[in-house]
């Protein structure tokens, strides 16, 4: 406010009280109008690029948004300066070179005005998605209320895409914002437990972006390119696209791209249990579609196998197992011991998050640790017994709480009967008095199996059958070397 104006307001003859108040308000208003606002006309970054965000370390980081067509854009962060010009539609994008972890930092985005984004961290960013078992909030999970009380961590940030957001065409933004982990109680329980364990293991900031909707089939999360990758199901694809319009993917996943992320954590499949053969084909296609759309190559894709429940058939778990074994840079977490025969939303989410974090450390960060339970590899017949070998023995095989349970065996008639199973070194021997010449063995082959087969790393074995028709050899995942 000018000294002349202050002088007029402080004249020796007092003015009426109401008049002074009005003059003050008017003077302040004029002063504000006269002062330049540096954010006026500033470029508008995507909502993910906002106060409190976590940016991915160690790779190129896209920063993008909108501005006036032809407007020059300058982004400054961590000593870097990147420039762009908004196109005819007002869109702009710059690429920052790989960033160093740490924070908090500020970022400036300048055009016709200047915007400062504050409290940014650089570390590891993951997307978690799927259906209701991913959407289950921390405060309703087992141990969730206690965990949420101790969740405050300044280097752990959370972001949720509010469901449901469907769209006939890919959206460019969905208006998300970041929050601190002090609010983890309302976040995905699996996503939080995964992020918490990853934070402890890596010692860098972690950001989680959550986008899931309960009771959704996998088709709702696929883009058109992923469907086109399933040529054998062309007629089905067209019906799916008409019914779902490439649905939640357009509204909840496409708007997140190309935000730099380390990978994806996925918990879905229960809604596809009536057609596991179909799931076996289109789940890998969905993974390929997401990877292609993100443009970051084969980023790690970690997922949870369906837990034990009277409604989920073993063929669904087999489809997920085969998707893992046939798709590079993926990992599967077994959850048979975390399920419930009746409850489709079993509350034990902490072990699942911990196992996903182990998988991330192995697949995404190259740590030499066991991240999977035993996986069937081969069978031989020895003196009337089936001898089974496994990968991922994790220091040895073990039965928890008594003799091995959950194995059945059959002869040429393919009539399966309960088998007696025991561990000998790193193999499992299975036999039954009624089966003198066994030809096939199944493990945990039930909707809600009673099983206790683990490795000494504490991870449960995946259900399997040695007689799966027309299936490739099991036990050898199509993994490439993990990134350091």
pLDDT of 66 > 70? The answer is yes
CA 426/CA 31 separation, integer angstroms = 80
Band (469; pLDDT cuts 50, 70, 90): low
Q: 426, 423, 434: which is closest to 400 by C-alpha?
A: 423
φ/ψ (deg, to 5) at 344: -80, -10
H-state helical runs in 109-172: 132-135, 144-149
The tens digit of pLDDT for each residue in 237-280 reads: 667 666 654 789 999 999 999 999 999 999 999 999 999 999 99
The neighbouring-strand residues paired with 422 are: 429
Distance of CA 163 to the CA centre of its chain: 15
Cα–Cα separations (whole angstroms), residue 74 to 55, 68, 71, 111, 247: 18, 14, 10, 7, 35
- For the chain, the domains span 3-34, 44-121, 122-363, 375-465
Q: What is the CATH number of domain 44-121?
A: 2.60.40.10
Annotation: CATH topology of 122-363:
Rossmann fold (3.40.50)
Least confident among 7-16, 74-83, 462-471: 7-16
| pLDDT (tens digit per residue) in 200-244 | 999 999 999 999 999 999 999 999 899 889 877 767 766 766 665
Half-sphere exposure of 425 (CA within 13 A, CB side): 4
Tell the residue number behind the tokens 């370390």, with chain if given. Answer: 57
CA distance 271 to 266: 14
């Amino acid at each position: 406010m000018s000294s002349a104006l202050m002088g007029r307001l402080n004249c020796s003859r007092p003015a009426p009280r109401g008049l002074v108040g009005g003059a003050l308000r008017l003077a302040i208003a004029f002063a504000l109008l006269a002062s330049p606002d540096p954010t006026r006309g500033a470029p508008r970054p995507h909502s993910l690029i906002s106060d409190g965000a976590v940016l991915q370390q160690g790779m190129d980081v896209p920063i993008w948004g909108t501005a006036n067509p032809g407007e020059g854009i300058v982004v400054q962060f961590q000593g870097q300066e990147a420039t762009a010009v908004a196109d005819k539609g007002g869109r702009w994008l710059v690429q920052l070179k790989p960033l160093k972890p740490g924070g908090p930092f500020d970022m400036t985005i300048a055009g016709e005005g200047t915007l400062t984004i504050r409290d940014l961290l650089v570390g590891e960013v993951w997307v978690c998605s799927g259906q209701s078992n991913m959407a289950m909030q921390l405060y309703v999970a087992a141990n969730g209320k206690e965990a949420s009380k101790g969740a405050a961590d300044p280097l752990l940030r959370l972001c949720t895409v509010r469901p449901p957001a469907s769209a006939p065409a890919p959206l460019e933004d969905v208006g998300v914002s970041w929050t601190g982990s002090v609010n983890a109680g309302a976040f995905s329980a699996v996503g939080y437990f995964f992020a918490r364990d990853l934070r402890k293991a890596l010692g860098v900031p972690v950001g989680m972006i959550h986008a899931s909707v309960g009771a959704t089939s996998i088709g709702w999360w696929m883009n058109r390119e992923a469907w086109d990758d399933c040529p054998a199901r062309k007629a089905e694809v067209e019906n799916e696209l008409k019914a779902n319009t490439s649905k939640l993917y357009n509204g909840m996943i496409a708007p997140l791209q190309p935000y730099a992320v380390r990978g994806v954590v996925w918990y879905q499949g229960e809604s596809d249990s009536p057609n596991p053969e179909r799931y076996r084909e289109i789940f890998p296609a969905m993974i390929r579609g997401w990877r292609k759309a993100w443009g970051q190559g084969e980023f790690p894709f970690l997922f949870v196998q369906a837990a034990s429940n009277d409604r989920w058939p073993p063929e669904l778990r087999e489809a997920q197992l085969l998707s893992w074994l046939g798709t590079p840079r993926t990992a599967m977490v077994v959850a048979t011991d975390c399920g419930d025969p009746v409850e489709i939303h079993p509350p034990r989410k902490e072990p699942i998050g911990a196992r996903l974090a182990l998988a991330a450390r192995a697949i995404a960060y190259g740590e030499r640790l066991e991240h999977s339970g035993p996986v069937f590899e081969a069978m031989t017949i020895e003196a009337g017994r089936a001898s089974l070998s496994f990968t991922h023995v994790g220091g040895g095989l073990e039965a928890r709480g008594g003799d091995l349970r959950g194995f059945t065996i059959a002869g040429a008639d393919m009539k399966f009967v309960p088998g007696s199973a025991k561990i000998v070194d790193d193999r499992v021997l299975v036999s039954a008095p009624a089966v003198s010449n066994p030809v096939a063995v199944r493990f945990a082959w039930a909707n809600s199996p009673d099983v206790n087969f683990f490795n000494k790393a504490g991870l449960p074995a995946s259900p399997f059958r040695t007689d799966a028709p027309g299936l490739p050899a099991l036990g050898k995942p199509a993994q490439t070397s993990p990134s350091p």
